[in-house]
């Protein structure tokens, strides 16, 4: 009865003496605090919108402009060149104001318009500056005078103390490449993959497309680029991710791995409590837009921040033809059997009595081990199951307490890391919620990892979260079992039917078959890192890609279409572009190595190939890539109901080698040179092809600074 009494704010009883009214002060206090928190959030959101809306100026700059304009009036100088007088003549409230009041009101209105015009001008100047990418193609360390002036201008017009979304309105739109440029670059990219007859055939198809159908499709694409914020991103998310009908486990989701040599605590609940606390602090900063916007490393060039918006409290929901990404912590403790993509879990309160639960309190809560049943979305349409599903889908993120004990074993590093990576990529196939924006996985020995859904954002965004969460200042070396007040996890509950169990069993078999078909080969490489590569005046990325081309040719005896992701976040709502790493120059280098030419000749071809790779990578970053343009042209052709043999063939070409790299230390929280034990194995993703040869597919490359 005590619990029931506390569940209501008041109760009353009608007696012969009247109405006996009893108030629960604790409940009323909670209602009051809830309202205060809600209004604080509203006010903070309004404030953030104002500050971001007037950036790169500040709201206080209006006062400076207003005082300057009003002050000049008393010096008998009209800075408006008659505009203040015109405003005064048409003031709707001038009858209610004195002559002096009309002057001040007119001056303030003019100052406001002038202030807004200055903001618009500053923003347009910054957007124009950020549309210039010539600096990107200059040799490293040899910036021209024009580039130095450009960097100075960007710093001046970038303002001070930007918030997370301050630069969004100043970022340029992604440009649409010309049909001619795309055709030329495409043919250059496929030349080393085809013999003369195949290439001449493809050349004829490309030329026919460029002259006939291409200009028509390009016109519609140009129209979209003028109207939409980004002509690629919405279609990319819709058709590449959400309309995909394959399981997103292995095929889409990617993972991030823990420190290799450091485990702050072997206590599972302690590690989970600390990291959950760190994630919630990050979410609070994200909500308040206090996260510093990302820039290119060492440069004042801002990157798009739009992908941060759906990091927390988001889930991907499936549909018949397409899915969607829709916007309490969910805890999953050693499931016995669960649905392939959805597992109902206990709910853990992370805010208690209006205050954040401490890592110690969360540690105690996370010791609970509650077994859970099976579920499938079609059985969660109403009642208790619907409520449970809503709790999971609206959760901040998903947390799994895993019973395995992975980690780097010095005596067998390859086998141990292979097992670790597979646990993070797919687990046991029933103990992850792959549709959530991300799942935090904490193992029994204190090691952790993360599995991220791909449609809402790309790896660098999760990488930023991962690094901030790993701030050594937030890592507790040892935490007890927890004490103090906290609300313990409770069972969301569900009603499981026999039909549901049969569907789950069938889905589990499919998932296990998919997981068993994935081979990993992960190992730490400590002989040298990016520092040595840079000393050789070579791009680490180009070095790795050329090494992959050589290894792949020796493995398969031929060249293949190679995918490397490159970001386009220099543009608003930009995501990725493809760098076609297999080039004419890289194939010449590989053949020279295989033909055992002299070292000097091979080195010459290597530097030429590396320079070419850097050039096409920069073109992709500058919005001049090939594949996103071709993809959008293909989408337009489908909407128009026209068939293009060229686009059909291009879009059906398999990526037999898929690679990616996400640099470490986006935020530089600690010095890896002096603390190399804080190195991570980075992350990875599943193969993109069903062919046996795709087992050579490379996971994310991270350059160890040893």
Cβ(66)–Cβ(111) under 8 Å? yes
Task: Give the Cβ contact number of residue 58 at 10 Å.
Answer: 16
- CA–CA dist 191, 197 (Å, integer): 11
Largest CA distance in the chain: 109
Q: Is the dihedral of CA 369, 374, 376, 379 positive or negative?
A: negative
φ, ψ dihedrals at 451, nearest 5°: -120, 125
- CA–CA dist 435, 219 (Å, integer): 37
- CA–CA dist 630, 627 (Å, integer): 5
Q: Is the dihedral of CA 51, 52, 53, 55 positive or negative?
A: positive
Instruction: Please identify which residue in the block is written with the tokens 């109403």.
Output: 382
Nearest to 609 by CA among 625, 594, 588: 588
Compute, in degrees rounded to 10, the torsion defined by CA atoms 286, 287, 288, 290.
Answer: 10
**Peptide bond between residue 332 and the one before it cis (omega within 30 degrees of 0):** no
463: which strand partners?
Answer: none
Instruction: Please identify which residue in the block is written with the tokens 């037999």.
Output: 656
Residues 112, 70, 122: CA angle, nearest 5 degrees: 40
Q: Is 690 exposed, middle or buried (0-12, 13-18, 19+ CB in 10 A)?
A: exposed
Give 87-102 as a DSSP string.
HHHT-TTGGGS-HHHH
Active site residue 454: yes
Annotated catalytic residue, options 277, 342, 454, 464 = 454
Count of H-run helices and E-run strands, the chain: 23, 15
Q: Is 416 exposed, middle or buried (0-12, 13-18, 19+ CB in 10 A)?
A: middle
- CA–CA dist 473, 46 (Å, integer): 32
In the chain the first and final C-alpha atoms are separated, in Å, by 63
- CA–CA dist 27, 626 (Å, integer): 60
Q: Is 61 exposed, middle or buried (0-12, 13-18, 19+ CB in 10 A)?
A: middle
CA 516 to chain centre: 28
Instruction: Please identify which residue in the block is written with the tokens 């360390």.
Output: 141
Cβ(453)–Cβ(253) under 8 Å? yes
Helix (H) or strand (E) holding 621: helix 599-621
φ, ψ dihedrals at 320, nearest 5°: -65, -45
Encoded tokens for 675: 């603390």
Say how many CA atoms lie within 13 Å of 32 toward its Cβ. 6
Pairing of strands 683-685, 438-443: unpaired
Residues classed as catalytic: 454
């Amino acid at each position: 009865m005590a619990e029931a009494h506390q569940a209501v704010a008041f109760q009353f009883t009608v007696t012969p003496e009247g109405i006996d009214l009893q108030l629960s002060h604790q409940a009323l206090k909670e209602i009051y605090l809830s309202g205060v928190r809600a209004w604080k959030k509203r006010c903070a959101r309004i404030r953030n919108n104002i500050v971001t809306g007037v950036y790169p100026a500040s709201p206080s700059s209006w006062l400076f402009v207003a005082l300057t304009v009003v002050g000049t009036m008393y010096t008998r100088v009209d800075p408006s060149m008659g505009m203040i007088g015109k405003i005064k003549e048409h003031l709707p409230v001038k009858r209610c104001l004195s002559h002096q009041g009309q002057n001040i009101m007119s001056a303030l209105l003019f100052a406001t318009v002038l202030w807004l015009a200055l903001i618009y001008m500053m923003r347009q100047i910054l957007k124009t500056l950020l549309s210039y990418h010539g600096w990107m193609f200059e040799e490293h360390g040899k910036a021209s005078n024009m580039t130095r002036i450009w960097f100075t201008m960007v710093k001046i017009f970038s303002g001070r103390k930007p918030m997370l979304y301050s630069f969004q309105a100043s970022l340029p739109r992604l440009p649409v490449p010309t049909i001619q440029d795309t055709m030329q670059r495409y043919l250059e990219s496929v030349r080393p993959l085809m013999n003369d007859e195949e290439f001449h055939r493809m050349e004829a198809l490309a030329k026919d497309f460029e002259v006939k159908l291409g200009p028509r499709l390009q016109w519609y694409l140009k129209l979209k680029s003028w109207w939409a914020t980004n002509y690629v991103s919405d279609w990319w998310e819709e058709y590449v991710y959400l309309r995909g009908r394959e399981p997103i486990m292995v095929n889409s989701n990617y993972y991030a791995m823990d420190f290799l040599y450091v485990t702050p605590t072997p206590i599972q609940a302690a590690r989970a409590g600390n990291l959950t606390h760190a994630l919630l602090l990050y979410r609070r900063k994200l909500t308040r837009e206090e996260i510093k916007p990302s820039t290119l490393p060492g440069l004042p060039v801002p990157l798009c921040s739009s992908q941060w918006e759906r990091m927390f409290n988001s889930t991907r929901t499936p549909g018949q033809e397409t899915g969607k990404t829709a916007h309490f912590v969910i805890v999953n403790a050693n499931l016995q059997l669960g649905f392939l993509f959805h597992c109902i879990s206990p709910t853990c309160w992370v805010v208690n009595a209006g205050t954040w639960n401490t890592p110690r309190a969360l540690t105690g809560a996370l010791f609970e081990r509650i077994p859970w049943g099976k579920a499938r979305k079609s059985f969660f349409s109403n009642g208790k199951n619907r409520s449970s599903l809503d709790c999971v889908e609206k959760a901040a993120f998903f947390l799994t307490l895993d019973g395995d004990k992975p980690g780097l074993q010095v005596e067998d590093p390859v086998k141990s890391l292979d097992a670790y990576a597979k646990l993070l990529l797919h687990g046991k196939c029933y103990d992850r919620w792959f549709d959530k924006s991300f799942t935090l996985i904490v193992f029994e020995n204190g090691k952790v990892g993360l599995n991220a859904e791909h449609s809402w954002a790309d790896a660098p965004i999760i990488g930023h979260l991962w690094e901030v969460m790993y701030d050594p200042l937030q890592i507790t070396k040892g935490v007890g079992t927890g004490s103090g007040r906290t609300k313990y996890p409770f069972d969301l509950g569900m009603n499981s039917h026999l039909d549901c169990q049969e569907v789950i069993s069938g889905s589990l078999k499919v998932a296990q078959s998919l997981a068993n078909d994935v081979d990993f080969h992960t190992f730490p490489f400590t002989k040298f890192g990016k520092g040595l590569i840079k000393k050789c005046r070579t791009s680490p990325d180009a070095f790795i890609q050329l090494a992959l081309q050589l290894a792949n040719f020796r493995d398969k005896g031929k060249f293949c279409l190679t995918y490397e992701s490159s970001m386009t976040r220099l543009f608003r709502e930009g995501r990725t572009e493809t760098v076609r790493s297999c080039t004419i120059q890289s194939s010449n280098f590989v053949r020279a190595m295989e033909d055992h030419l002299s070292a000097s000749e091979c080195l010459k071809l290597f530097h030429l190939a590396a320079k070419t790779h850097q050039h096409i990578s920069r073109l992709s970053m500058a919005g001049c890539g090939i594949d996103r343009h071709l993809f959008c042209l293909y989408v337009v052709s489908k909407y128009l109901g026209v068939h293009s043999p060229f686009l059909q063939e291009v879009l059906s070409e398999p990526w037999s080698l898929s690679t990616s790299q996400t640099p470490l230390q986006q935020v530089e929280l600690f010095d890896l040179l002096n603390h190399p034990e804080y190195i991570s194995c980075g992350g990875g993703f599943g193969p993109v092809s069903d062919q046996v040869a795709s087992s050579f597919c490379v996971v994310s490359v991270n350059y160890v600074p040893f």
